[in-house]
Amino acid sequence: MSQHPVTSREYALELDANDPLAHYREQFVITDPNVCYLDGNSLGRLPKKTVEVVNNYLLNEWGKEVVDGWGHWIDEPLAMGDLLGRSVLGAAAGQVVCSDTTSVNFYQLVGAALRARPGRKTIITDASNFPTDRFILQGYAEQHGYNLVIIDNEDPAISAHERITPELLEKYMSDDVALVTLEVVQYRAGARNDVKAITDLVRKYGALTIWDASHSAGSIDMHFDADGVDLAVGCTYKYCNGGPGAPGYLYVSKRIQKELRVPIQGWFANKNQFEMGPTFEKVEDIRGFQIATPPVLAYRCVKTALEMIEEAQISRMEEKCSTGTQMLIELYDAWLAPLGFTLNTPRDAKERGGHVSLVHPDAKQIAVAMRRMINVIPDYRVPNSIRLAISPLTTSFVEAWDGMERLRDLVSSGRYKEVAMDTSRVS
Ligand SMILES: Cc1ncc(COP(=O)(O)O)c(C=O)c1O
């Protein structure tokens, strides 16, 4: 604990001086040290080593080996999955495939889960779930005649900070439920759901759970195997620093791999893949959850970044997120609450991930002004949230502290109102 008050810059400098992960920051490309990059929950920074590793792959593998490279590239989705499992997800080998997008993986597991619960017609998710998950469920429900139940966790009278508690979920459970799917950490509010308690509850009703770990992978220490998780998906481009559009992943517990069958039966899931036979026969292990030719170049980015996480240890990364988000919340109390912001993230560190969500009626304009006027990169989410993240290997405490001080001055002066609104398609 620091002897300085949180509102003194020395407070953050002292946290940095005692941060066992501080040295990782210099292993990333940071072109402008004056920028406070607080958007690692959207896209992580580039590790310096990735540049070298990708170059080496291009010249010495693709360039030299050409098609012979497939002899050792072909199982990289599984090798990368095992690395993700042990460094980030708390999963033993043979349960994770790293490939495709989170959306495709989600579609695959939704199809597999519903097929494994014939006769049941209800799917449950929440209104604050990430759009791609909700949209895929809507499409699936419409096409295949399922009843999609959406828990209204955007209403604070129903749920605090969008969090889904087992008590709340149980009100919606019945023996018609085939599938419940939620985020481990809510993408907007940053609230963390209790993976084990919810998975146990859903199992009690005979249904399956799919967790979307996109915002929790690399920010909190997860224990998929110990928590009895059935199924999960997520991405590697946020806190895992795998790069823009880096492959996602799916987790299928060994307990249910034989029982499940995904809707897209690609040739990589076929038992005798290179016999090119007339009919599909699913491989019974995790290979049976692949689709097709994997993005080998992208794996080199993912591998470099995940090896850093494995060395840094995910438990220490969670600790840094917890301390950093605590500092952000205390600075919010001191500086931003009096300026009309409200906090939409739990105050208990065990109930949040690596980002905090600050709500303000002018959030959109403030977020644009932060980029243009004060060199702070936040993340804006409709209708009125600014998300600020601690990406544990790259964000320094003083970087986050400076960002909050600049934000305070931007809003208290009213200067943000001078900025013209952004016309970019990306917000
Ligand atoms: C929680 C969550 N799920 C799914 C996605 C979609 O990922 P993709 O575009 O890789 O399919 C995202 C993207 O940010 C996300 O945050």
Q: Read out DSSP for 339-393?
A: GT-EE-S-SSGGGB-SEEEEE-TTHHHHHHHHHHHH-EE-EEETTTEEEEE--TT
Pocket test for ligand 1, best of 130, 186, 216, 249 (most atoms within 8 A of CB): 130
Active site residue 237: yes
pLDDT, tens digit (0-9, with 9 covering 90-100), for 332-341: 999 999 999 9
Q: What ranges do the domains of the chain cover?
A: 9-47+313-418, 74-311
Q: What is the pLDDT of residue 172?
A: 98
pLDDT at 24: 98
In ligand 1, the atom with minimum distance to the C-alpha of 183 is: 1
- Calculate mean pLDDT across residues 183-194: 98
Ligand 1 atom index nearest CA of 214: 1
The C-alpha atoms of residue 107 and residue 122 are separated, in whole angstroms, by: 16
- Closest of 170, 179, 175 to residue 140, by C-alpha: 179
- Give residue 242 CA to ligand 1 midpoint distance, Å: 14
Over residues 212-254, the pLDDT tens digits come to: 999 999 999 999 999 999 999 999 999 999 999 999 999 999 9
Q: Which CATH class is domain 9-47+313-418?
A: alpha beta
Instruction: Convert the pLDDT of each residue in 358-403 to its tens digit.
Output: 999 999 999 999 999 999 999 999 999 999 999 999 999 999 999 9
Judge whether 387 counts as a catalytic residue. Answer: yes
What is the share, in percent, of the chain residues with pLDDT greater than 90? 97
- Please give the class, per CATH, of domain 74-311: alpha beta
Annotated active-site residue 130? The verdict is yes
Which of 187, 211, 291 is the best mutation target for the ligand 1 pocket, counting ligand atoms within 8 Å of the beta carbon and taking the most? Answer: 187
Beta strands in 228-322 (DSSP E): 231-234, 249-252
CA dist 309 and 385 (Å) reads 29
134 in contact with ligand 1, CB cutoff 6 A = no
Pull the structure tokens for residue 150. 């959406």
Q: Please say if 285 is a catalytic residue.
A: no
pLDDT for res 421: 81
Ligand 1 centroid to residue 300 C-alpha, Å: 21
